[in-house]
Amino acid sequence: MRRVTPDTIAVVDLAVCDRCGLCLPLCPPEAIHLELNVLTVDRAACTGCEKCVGPCPVGALAMVAYA
């Protein structure tokens, strides 16, 4: 099944991110990874649901246009 490309996807500002890991279990497609102290959002897997954005305690996640 072809995945529908979302209009917006989540991105992390690593200068703000505290690496607490709170957003990982909130992500329905498990598109957020924390490895070797760097948080990444897999843009191919992010569905643009925004569930990670509000709960970030420091506001390090935001939605941006997919393109």
Dist CA 63 CA 61 (whole Å): 7
| Of positions 6, 8, 11, 22, contacts other proteins by CB under 8 A | 22
Q: With respect to other proteins, which residue has the nearer C-beta, 2 or 40?
A: 40
Tokens of 43: 């843009």
Q: Which residue has 């996807």 as its token pair?
A: 9
Under the phi-then-psi rule, with left for phi > 0, alpha for psi from -120 to 50, and beta for the rest, what region is 42? beta
Residue 28 touches other proteins, criterion: CB under 8 A:
yes
| Of positions 8, 11, 34, 47, contacts other proteins by CB under 8 A | 34
Residues that bind other proteins (CB under 8 A): 18, 20-28, 30, 34-36, 51, 54-59
